[in-house]
Structures are given as structure tokens and as C-alpha cells.
Amino acid sequence: MKPLLDTLRAGTGYLEKHSVDEARLNMEHLLAHVLGCRRLDLYLRFGEILQEVDLEKLRGLTKRRADGEPLQHLLGTVDFLGLELISDHRALIPRPETEYLCDLLIKRYGKSPPARVLDMATGSGCIGLTLASAWKDSQVILADISEEALDLARLNASRLGLERLQVLRSDLFEKISGTFDLVVSNLPYIPTGEIPSLSREVRRDPILALDGGADGLDMVRRFLADAPSRLAPGALIALEVGHDQGHLTASHASGLGYGAAEVKADLAGVERFVFADAPPVV
């Protein structure tokens, strides 16, 4: 048996040797998970002697983290704008950039949320579920081509008490009917050739959710070409794209007749969000 602080230091060193970024923070999360407490509570328990059963569980999790398994998968959940979402191999890990996109949309609409919302390529459901939680009267549909991802989205919807949402399998707009006031999407946008150079953790995400074709914009171009028929007059599209794709995407949208295409930055100043109005009805 070892004191908590010694265990934390030893685990941090082990993760550092295996090139895990923010090794100390990772160990704190794993240790808090094993002990069933908040991470900050660890600082009040540094002298506590850990039981062997807890140490054994921690060793297993630390080894898996050192082997490149994402922290979010080991913890099983991720906090996303105040919602606790299940996170596993079935979909992209919800990320802070996408969280900020949801925050931008909620603030943009204020007290007048859109009536019908489509979360295309929903993955874990993080975007659609967050918007549905904020906009109680909006009809929100979650769509994805991956049945595994949709199973995860359904699970998250159930845990949040949002079973009223419609969840359906569709290759982009193939099975989508009706029109929407907001269509939001975080499509695959990684160029195929860059995927082997991604971090070990990101490569654990489904390849279907990563691979955007030769230049990363194959799915984005398809989306922009097909979306107008599913947009109500005055509707908005909101896209998350790669770090260098914002202005290319906005330019392409403008070329297709979308109105007022604009690029917005994330919290790191990276221009990765594209907002555009529906093309005018001819």
C-alpha cells in the first residue's frame, strides 16, 4: 500500500515516459475516477494510504492510458457544456471547440431559438443534445451514417431524458425530409494523407468520422451542395471545419449562392466555424 501523493507522482512519471501530454492532469483524473471523488478533492487526501484493490484498478487504467487509449474512454464520460455524455469508440470524443460552437449558437439565437434543428453527422449527439437541452420547444433531429454512433447518441439522449428527439440513419441528406431553420454539423475534415500523423488518441476515433478525402473537404462540399433543399427561408447552416479550412468553406458556400457566409474563431483564435444563410429562394 502507498500514500496517494506517492502514487500520483509515480503514475505521472510513468505516463511522461510514454509521451502522454499533461501526464499529471491525466493521473489526477484517473485517480479521482478510481476513488470516486472530484479531482480537486485529491489535494485534501495526499497522505491517505491507498488500498490494494484501488491500486490494482489504477495500474490497469494507467497502462491503457500509456498505450494511447484516450482519457475520455477510460473515464467513460465527458463534460460537454454542463452535460455528462458517454464517450467511447463509437464516435468522436466531444471536444472543446465543438462545445464553443454550441455556445455561439445558443447566444446567437438568444430567446428566439429555431423551430426545427438538424444535427448532421451527430456522432455522440453532443451538438444536438446540447441544443435540445437549451431549446426545450425546438424539434431537434440527430442524423448520422454510422449505426454505432447513433446507438451512442440514443444512449446519451436517454441518460439526459431527451428521448423526444428523432434519431435516424442517413448518408448526409439522403433520408432527411422536411426543412429546417438551423442545420449544424461537424463533418469529417481531416485530409486522408494526414490521418497516419494524427496523435495516438485521435486515431482511436472512428475513421469514418475523420477522413474528409484528399483535401479534407469532400463531405463539406457534398453537404453545401445538398443542404439548400432542406433549408427553410431564412435558415442558417453552421459548420465546424479544420484549422485552415474556414475561409475556403465560406468561399465555396458563397459560390453556391449562400448568403452572408462568415467565419468565426474558436477560443484559441482558430477560424474554424462557418455560418451561412440559406440561399435566397428563386
Query: What is the full DSSP assignment across 143-193?
Result: EES-HHHHHHHHHHHHHTT-TTSEEEE-STTTT--S-EEEEEE----B-GG
Non-local (6+) Cβ contacts of 268 within 8 A are none
Nearest-10 crossing angle of helices 23-35, 52-66:
140
Question: Which cell numbers hold the place of 54?
Answer: 484501488
Q: Answer yes or no: is 144 a known binding residue.
A: yes
Residue 194 is given by DSSP the state G
Residue type, 166: Q
Q: For residue 210, give the C-alpha cell.
A: 475523420
**Concatenated DSSP letters for 197-242?**
GS-TTGGGS-GGGTB--TTS-HHHHHHHHHGGGGEEEEEEEEEE--
Q: Is 186 annotated among the ligand-binding residues?
A: yes
Binding region for S-adenosyl-L-methionine: 144, 186
Please enumerate, by residue number, every residue annotated as part of a binding site: 144, 186
